[in-house]
Amino acid sequence: MNPRAAQVTCPTCKKTGDWLATPWGPFCSKRCKLIDLGKWLGGEHVISEPLRAEHLEKYSGPPTNGHSDPSKAGDN
């Protein structure tokens, strides 16, 4: 694993690693991805309420890459 890579926690088994660099990201393996899919299909995971327009308001502008000043977007 790349030491500079973003370390994420697998949502299923909670192992930490560079899972976004794998074909299954953010899961650590195909098995964990399928377990999660099974939970969604079986109704164990659900969306608690319908999505409304006000839920998306904070995403209406251009991405800023974590900067509050849009003129600095892309500067890293």
Q: What pLDDT score does 23 carry?
A: 92
Residue pLDDT, tens place only, 19-75: 999 999 999 999 999 999 999 999 999 888 888 888 888 888 776 665 555 555 454
Q: What pLDDT score does 65 carry?
A: 62
Give the pTM. Answer: 0.59
State the distance between the two ends of the chain, measured CA to CA, in whole angstroms.
22
- Full 3-state SS string of the chain: CCCCCCCEECCCCCCEECHHHCCCCCCCCHHHHHHHHHHHHCCCCCCCCCCCHHHCHHHCCCCCCCCCCHHHCCCC
CATH topology of domain 1-46: Erythroid Transcription Factor GATA-1; Chain A (3.30.50)
Q: What pLDDT score does 29 carry?
A: 95
> Which residue did the predictor score with more confidence, 63 or 16?
16
* Alpha-carbon dihedral angle through residues 15, 66, 23, 10, given to the nearest 10 degrees: 20
